[in-house]
Amino acid sequence: MRELNQVQAIREALDEELERDETVYLSGEDVGTFGGNFGETQGLVDKYGTERVRDTPLSEIGIVGHALGASIGGLRPVAELQFADFAATAGEEFINQIAKMPYISGGRLKAPMTVLAPSGAGIRAGAQHSQSVHAWTGHQPGLVVVAATTPYDAKGLLKSAIRDDNPVFVLAHKKLMGFKGEVPEEPYTLPLGEAVVEREGEDVTVVATQRLYHRSVEAAEELAEDVSVEIVNPRTFSPLDVETIAESVRKTGRLVVVDETPLRYGTQGYIASRIADEEFFSLDAPPRTVGVEDTPIPFSPTLEDEVIPSTSKIVDAIESVF
């Protein structure tokens, strides 16, 4: 099978959906001639024109607000933010309008819009450009929140997001933009709200996504002689596929949740608590959580590397549940 990097996978997903459905259009800062923050929209404006690939002013609240209005009016906009952190500047639209519009209209209004944004640390971009935001955006009822881990994920989940009738926030990790993986040549989609067991194991379940999924794979390989690690990739944080995680824990009896969001009120604690509530008697040890400590992401490379969980820290967490 051919290999694409994550940028190429995203571009291909956008291209296929723009070609498939005339109601799909793309808007955001520098998505046109410049070709996107990471090159993910290169060539699309030449193919589809400025009506369907639209450069916007530097206003995140305007970008996503415009997309909300267009989606209610029958289009399927893809609104791109240069960094996921900037969802905060569009908070009024995200939290009070986009997430709630289908509900407060009694289901009469649909909002089939997608917000696409790069998230996460690792490119030394400082505290305002390095956050993983799927924890706090996942708190909002009405938003579907997706985190792509591989190029295969990025393409299949983005295509499904564009076709979904709900507002979907698709997060692709900045550090993984150049990461290559197998992507089928034929068009495909991946279901939203379904986790996947990426690595089969017998002794412990590790739930991990995006950059820390790959570090969890490294940890599993390091421990392979002594511990059989099963790794579950959630893919979607809202709604969360608890059953796939629970089924894995029923087999292994142990759980470690690894994520790049802060530990305080983070996804790790939520997943661990759900499993503890629903599968208490399946657990042979208390669940362990691994994440970012209570600090903004530092600009200093040395400090950033200290804050983001390392492979060795994941190894330690896995060993601690035995």
CA dist., res. 154 & res. 114, Å (int): 13
Convert 274-283 to b/e letters by CB count within 10 Å (16 or more is b). Answer: ebeeebeebb
Question: How far, in Å, are 181, 261, 297 from residue 300 at the CA level?
Answer: 30, 19, 9
How far lies 105's CA from each of 31, 97, 98, in Å? 32, 11, 12
Q: State yes or no: is 129 an active-site residue.
A: yes
Q: How many CB atoms sit inside 10 A of residue 178's CB?
A: 10
Q: Assess contact for 130 and 163: CB atoms under 8 A.
A: no
What are residue 290's DSSP bridge partners?
A: 258
Residue 317 tokens read as: 């967490």
Q: Which of 129, 134, 173, 214 is catalytic?
A: 129
Distance between CA atoms of 139 and 281, rounded to whole angstroms? 28
Q: Which residues are catalytic?
A: 129
